[in-house]
Each structure stands twice: as C-alpha cells, then as structure tokens.
Structure 1
C-alpha cells in the first residue's frame, strides 16, 4: 500500500500493491494498521456501502453534517468512475477546491475522503460498482448536498452535462453559493 498526496490536505490516494500472475490478481484492499500508520488518521470504519450505476450517472456532491460527518475510503470494484472530493472545511487553505481522480477496476486505486469534505462521482464505463467505507453511520437529518453541476465549483465530470443522469435530490441540491450562505 502506497499513499499519494493530493492538493487537498488530508485527502489521499491509496495505490495498492497488486500481485498478478496467470491466475489473475490479489491485493489487500484494506489493513487498518497499515492505513493508520501511512495516513496518520485516527478513526475507525463502521459501515460499508455499495452502489451500482450506469454510464453518465452523477452521484453527489454529498456529505453528512455535524456529529454525523463521515470520512470515506472509496474504490471501484467493476468499471470506471471519475471520483471527486470537495473541501468544505471552513478555515482550510483549500476550502471550496476540488480534486478528481479516475478510479477503476484496472488501476484499483482508492481515495480517502476525510470528514468535512463533499464527495461525488460520475460513471465513465457502461456500468460501475462502487464501494465505500464510512467511519460514521448515515443519518438522514444530517445529510447535505451541493448541486454536482454547480457553475462555481465548475467540476469537469468528463461527461456531457446535458447527458448527466441525476437523482431528484441532486437535481434540487443548492448551488455552492447557496450552501455558503446557509
């Protein structure tokens, strides 16, 4: 396991050590002791989630507020996505900035998204199966979101905006400017 820093403080890429031969491949997708030693993170994951989506689906930008904030460790089991983290931590040097990375079943990268970040992804393959570990349980009353096609954040989801498939909740999510004013 190797840690690669991103421009956003505390948000890191995990590059797995993949062992391949004529039978296929093997890698350790998570080892708490190694993860904590490499990242310095002092949390504990309590919930795993999985989703499957089709090409041009955009999920996010989602987050949990207050005591229900969640750190996430995300990866793709099948397919390819553009994964995006947005720093929403007031006072952070990178507040309002985002980072994106392609996660796929080919590269087997993972992204650690700390508490205080918004998170989303777009599906770049015909389908994608997405896994994420969370360090806090989901609480509906604490959910928050920012419209993924927000002009201020200007995220290039690598799909045509007119073809983006959004949930009703994401379509009705506030702009980044409205988020800042609430």
Structure 2
C-alpha cells in the first residue's frame, strides 16, 4: 500500500509460492506446444486446419507437455473459439497471452530476470544469451549454445526468426543434432523472450 497525493493506492496481493516454477513454465509454454505439434502430426494437422481451441482441448487435452502440464493447460490461455492456420501462429498467440500475464504480475520482471540472469538495469530480456536459452531446452544436446553461435545465431531475436528446417540444418553443419520438436521448442522460447517486453 502506498500513499499518493490523490490518496491511498492499494495493489492486489500476489502469492509468490512457487513463483520460480510458474515463471519458468509460462516462459516455456509456447515452445512446448510447438514441440508437441512437431511430435504429434494429427494434432498439428487439426491445428493447421483451423480446429477451434475448444475442440482441440476436447480431443488432445491430456497430451503431456513434458514439464508436468498437459496441452489442455497450455490451451487454457486462449479463447475457446480461437483457431489458427499453423502451429507457429498458435505458439505466437500462446506466447502473447503468457507474456501479458507475466507483464501484469507484480514482480514478474524481477522473477524473470532472476531466472535468466539478466537484470532490467543491465540489459533487456530480449538480449538474453542464446546459451542460456540452450540450457533451458528439454534434453538439450551437449554444445548446443556454442553451436548456435557458430551457426550465426547470436541473439534470441535471430533464433526466433530462423525457420525450423534452417535451424536444424545450421546446427547440423555445426555438428549438433536437434530434432524438429527441440527446434520448435527452442524457437518458441526465443520468441517468448524476444516478445516479452515488445508486446
């Protein structure tokens, strides 16, 4: 509570129990959905054919994201009637919703900074290293962070912009093998970080 010239300002209370897990999960949601679409072609096809979120949820809600949550948990941030023409469009929409939640949560910037090692005074989150993103990837292959740099991907913005097939090819040239699902997850995380404070 603060006293201002106009009176007293009261902000809502925030429960910070489990904040680290919540922030980590919210930063990863879009990327994990992208990875899931790469692994489950039926889900990806239904998504790309414009199946509404409510129908996707009814059909695929129990698919595991890989971090203890399900696809139903991830899709819950989207309007039930929303539909998409690609997994990438769905990932972008999920990242937008998750970023809005994190931006509106008291202490979110500090919490995200604590997780990534980047402070708002030192550098914006969009300048987080690709090495840090590589370490966050599920089952990251050894040397991924260095391989991203060798492949000419020095920032999350560059990583988010490169198509999945090209990312896999560039990393293969740098002698690191990445599955399509891992590439989707990595790009989704990079997109989330890049757009976190630009949205």
Between Structure 1 and Structure 2, the one with more strand by share is 1
TM-score by length of 2: 0.21
State TM-score, norm by structure 1.
Answer: 0.22
Task: Work out which of the two has the higher radius of gyration on C-alpha atoms and give 1 or 2.
Answer: 2
More helix by share: 2
